[in-house]
Structures are given as C-alpha cells and as structure tokens.
Chain A
Amino acid sequence: MAAIAAKDEQAAPSGRKGGPLPLLALPLGWMLVFYLIPLALLLVHAFWSVDYLTIDRTFTLENIKAVFTVAPYPAVLIRTLLMAAAVTLTDIAIAFPISWWLAKKVTSHRELLLMLVVFPLWSSYLVRAFAWKTILGTNGILNSFLQTTGITSEPISAFLYSKTGMYITFCHVWLPFMILPLYTILDRLPDTLLEASGDLGGNGWKTFLRVILPLSLPGLLAGSVSVFSLTMGDYITPSLIGGSPGTELIGGIVADQFGVANNWPLGAALILPILAIVIGLLLVANRFGALGRDER
C-alpha cells in the first residue's frame, strides 16, 4: 500500500503542496499494465501474421485487407452491424415506455420496481442466454406450447439456431442496459417542463418529439452505445442460439481466431472494426453529453 503515505496530503488546502499522483499511481499503473498496454499490443498483432504456429512479426497489411475482402468476413461484419442496429432500435422502443412509466407515472414501490429492472443485469448473462435456448429449441417450450395449444402442428425450427433467435435473445439480455440510463435521465426531467409544453398546446406526440426525445438523448445514446457494443462483441449468444451457417457474427469469428483457428493476427484485425465503430459511437455519444459526469 505505497499509496497510503499519499493520504497525508488529503485535506490539502489550496496553496499547500501534494497532488493526487501518489494515490493514483497504483490504479493508473494497473490500468496501464493490465489494460491499455495489452490493448495496444493486441492492435499491433493485426499487422503481423502467423507462420504455422508461430507469429511472424514483420509488418503486413494482409490481415486488414482480408477483413474487408476475404469471404465471409465482410458479410459477417455487415450482418453483425445490422444485428446490433436492430437490437439497439428494438431495445430503445421497448425501454422507452417502461422507463417513462417508472420515472413519471409510478407513485408507489418505485424503488422496488427499479430494483426489479436492474436485477437481471446482475443475474448471470449466461443463464439468461441459455434460458432462451430452452424456450426456443425445436422441442423447446415455445414449440411444445404452440403444438399443445394447436396453434401449429409442426415444430418451428426457425426459432433456434437462427438470426431470429439471436435477435430475441440479444434484445432480452441487453434490455436493462437501455432502461437504466434512460430512466435516469427521464427521472431528472422536471415535470414542469412537460406541463409547460402541454400548456403551449403541444399534444402528446408533439411533446414527445419536440421536448422529451431531445432531452432524453444523452440517456438514449448512453444506452445505445452499451447495447450496440455488447452485441458487436458477443460470442456466447451466437454460439448458443445461432450456430448454423449464415448466422455467424464477428464476435464468434474473433473468438475462433484466438481459439481453435489460432490465428491471432487475423483475430486482432477483425477486432479493429469493432473497436473503431464502438469508439466512434462513444465519441458521438460524448458530444451529446451521454458520457458526461458532473465534473467539479
């Protein structure tokens, strides 16, 4: 605990010496060694290549080129982007009513309801993803339900091992990530503002489009970045729920390169577009104050 000594300056009034560096040395050192440097080195891998089982450290752009030209990578990339976009938009649509309801309409047991929304976030992601496998499978709950109730006669195989299945699962597992920031920002919207808009003759939809939507943009963006980024990088759901040809997402392919395929440079190159897109979204979100914390 080298940093303890640093606390000697904690109540440092302006004018007395001592800064935060001794306190921050340990955490920043950790982040540097165990996150930022590994991340940078990973990106460097993208410019290397594999020679049988060893890594050839001569500079090459082959991997990067492969990502955009060699089948199936471009298609997978586009499929992943579309999936992430669809999931994000769906979660926005699902999250808005319940966030609004929680923030503005619920009068009793609000904390409890909020807890209920947050809890799935903390319950195992794997458990929730695999629950969908149980539900969507060919002999699964949904199919046997549809058959016993006579809605269908044959089991529908399109649920599992399909893009539909992945889409449903993604929408479910990431939903709390959208509700939470949205609720937080809606909760802070003063009711008077909405009343004011109503007084000025704005009807429900106009109020929504002109007042609520713009003001909740930071929350929406924060949630969207999370959902988009989580979908882009996931390989658990694709492998559990997807898995048939034509359903691969980029996360699964990256995981393969670092696993069975053992082609780290290609894996690193495939991560580049993911990173670029997520960081791009972060920058956009940041411009709209989505990441902004109260700075003092």
Chain B
Amino acid sequence: MAVAKTQPGGRTAADPPSIELRRVRKSFGDFTAVAGVDLTVGQGEFLTLLGPSGCGKTTTLRMIGGFELPSSGEVLIEGAQMGNLPPYRRPVNTVFQNYALFPHLSVGKNVAYGLEMSGVPRGDRERRVREALDLVRLPNVENRRPSELSGGQQQRVALARALVNHPSVLLLDEPLGALDLKLRKAMQLELKHLNREVGATFVYVTHDQEEALTMSDRIAVMNEGRILQLGAPEEIYERPRSRFVADFIGQTNFIECDVLGPDGRFVACRTAGGETIRAIPAVEAPAGGTITVAVRPEKVSLDAEAPGGLSANWNRLTGTLTEVIYLGTHTQLVVALPGEGQIVVHRQNRMLGETEPSTGQQLTVAFDPASATVLAE
C-alpha cells in the first residue's frame, strides 16, 4: 500500500503507521454503513475521506475515535489494537462538525478540559491553553463563553481544544462545513499549516472535492461504504480509476469506445464516430471489448490552438459546436460528436477580445493520449 511521498514531522520509516484499519465493517441493523475498509495512514499524514453524503465517512471516523465499534475488523492506532477501548482511552482527539464546545464553560476552560482530565498541573495548563489559542491565532478570548464567538472563532477554539492535548491523531469531521466560503478557504490553508507544524496525523472528512484536493497528502474516495480509490490528489484527479471517482471529482468527458488493441504504452480504440483515439490503460482493456475513456475538459484544446510540434500524435475528434458559455476564467465549449456523445472543452480566457468560434460550426478538438484514462466499468 502506497504511503505518502512526504512524511512531515521527521519520523522514520521504522515507526508503525499512525492508523491502520483492517477489513473494518460496520452495520446498523441490516444496513451496512461501512463495508470492509482497509486503510493505512502514515505518521503526520493529512488524509482525507471524501465521498457523497451517506457513504460512511463519518462512521469510519467514529470507529477510529471509538464512538462506534466495528461490527468486524480491526482498528490499530500507533500499532496498538484498539479493541473496544472507549474514546477517553484513545490517543486521538476529534474536532466535531458542530464544534461541540461546552456552552457552560469559558473558552479557556473548554481548551483546558482535556489537560485537566489527564492531570496536567494548573500552571502548565494555563500556559498550554494560551499556546494553543495562539497557535490557532485566537488570543484574548479565554474568558468568553463560546456563544460570544463567531462561527469561525468557535471553529478555532474546537481546534485548539483538540490540539492542546498533543494527540498523535486528530480526527476532523467536516470542520469547515458551517463557515462561509472565504473563511473556509483561509481555514483550509491554516489547517494544512497546523498539520505540518504539530506533526500530528490528520484524518479529515469532507464531501467537498475542492477542499480535499487543496489540503490532503492523500485522498480516499469512498462510496457506499467502500474506498474506491486511494492516492495523492494529483493521482486521484488525473488518473481516476473508476467512472464514479472521475465523475465525483471535477468535470469529466466520458467517451465510449471499442478496443482495437495495445499501442505502445497506450491502448487504441475506435469511437462511435469512427475516429481512433488512444488512452492510458489504467485498467485492463481486452481487444474487442468496449471501454470508457475519460478526459478532463481543460486537457482538451481546439485543434487550431493545439501546441504545434507537441500535438502531432494527439487524439483528434471532430464534431459540431453546440454551446458556448462564458465562465470567467474560461469558456466552456460543447462539441457534439457524431453518433451519440459530446465533448466539453474548457478554453482559458487568456486575452481580451479573443474571437469565440460560433455555434453550429464544425470543430476539431485535440488532447494528449497521456491525459486520457481508461476507466473500470
């Protein structure tokens, strides 16, 4: 199993993985929420569980935290079997989606709560609370009640309350869900920095793909209780292995295609319009079968604008331009291909006053076979 390329925090390879899930399943009654998850998270890694609502992200996280016990399978933290250890005996802290700050305690007391529980002496406690609040850039609020803080500030208190205990693993369940877009973006970067700074392993749950791509060392894409693909953000984005992953993350063109046979490191196939294209065979593609080729809209250019020498052996498809939509940073062109499908092209708006092709005209688009992937199913 691939471990993150970078291992911040200066740990050596001899350390056990921070978290290991072995065939973890969880069912509620006869409904299976998590259907056998294997996952290894490295020391200090920032791993994101990404997937649509109800796919089992929270349940997986709660099993690591000890709030739910697996129906079967094993959870190991720092190499130790968790068994049915309750949450208060696990070296894990959690940032809850609704923050779960104690409403009757001041911010300072909230943050100090965990230290108090582990018997840290008062003097130390006060210093560490202050340090933790400084870390999340929230000084001078110790004596306020949580209700007297803004959503973003509450969020930071929740972070400080978890981080102050120096957990080796920090679990975060959509901690930014309630914040507005701008604050969310800022907090994303901050969280990423904190991960580097404190060296704790972060397991982060979100259903926002952009957030996942921005922050993670690795992303585990989940659906229906399973991990469909695990890898670095680029890998997930550029080389989705299944239609679900390709579709869930970003926008993708799917081109149905009959396999002709291997062609170097590519596989060649014929589209419904009779054109031959090539793509990276990420999954097996036996000759004679039908495959789906995925290519991102921004990887496709108009043939006329394709970079001269490089594009000699690019895939080319010709069709009728049916739609032109201006989207600010780029313009979206939709080209209907002969037969059924269509292909969406994102054309960067680099210069003012560029003339857009007009709808109805015949257009040839081109893309590098290396940016096209054959999908499973």
Contact = CB atoms under 8 A, between A and B. Distances in A.
Do A and B touch each other in the complex, judged by CB within 8 A? yes
B86 A15 contact: no
Contacts of A11: 67, 86-87
A13 B70 CA distance: 10
B97 interface: no
B28 A16 contact: no
A14 B66 CA distance: 10
B86 A16 contact: yes
B270 interface: no
Interface string A1-42: 000000000010111100000000000000000000000000
Contacts of A15: 68-71, 84
Nearest to A9: B86
Interface string A226-253: 0000000000000000000000000000
Interface residues of B, number: 11
A7 to B, nearest CB: 13
A259 B327 CA distance: 90
Contacts of A16: 69, 84, 86
A16 B83 CA distance: 11
Interface in A100-126: none
A16 B28 CA distance: 13
A11 B66 CA distance: 11
Contacts of A14: 28, 68-69
B243 interface: no
Contacts of B87: 11
B145 interface: no
B352 to A, nearest CB: 51
Nearest to B26: A15
Nearest to B67: A13
Contacts of B62: 13
Contacts of A13: 62, 66-69
Interface in A110-160: none
A15 B71 CA distance: 7
Interface string A35-78: 00000000000000000000000000000000000000000000
A16 B68 CA distance: 8
A13 B61 CA distance: 13
A280 B352 CA distance: 82
A14 B68 CA distance: 6
B245 to A, nearest CB: 30
Nearest to A17: B84
A15 B33 CA distance: 14
B32 to A, nearest CB: 14
B234 to A, nearest CB: 37
Nearest to B88: A11
Interface in B52-82: 62, 66-71
Nearest to A8: B86
A59 B84 CA distance: 57
A6 to B, nearest CB: 15
B65 to A, nearest CB: 9
A13 B84 CA distance: 10
A14 B83 CA distance: 14
Given A11-B86, A13-B69, 17 more contacts: A11-B67, A11-B87, A13-B62, A13-B66, A13-B67, A13-B68, A14-B28, A14-B68, A14-B69, A15-B68, A15-B69, A15-B70, A15-B71, A15-B84, A16-B69, A16-B84, A16-B86
Interface of A: 11, 13-16
8 contacts: A11-B67, A13-B62, A13-B66, A13-B67, A14-B28, A15-B68, A16-B84, A16-B86
5 nearest CB pairs, A to B: A15-B69, A13-B68, A13-B67, A16-B69, A16-B84
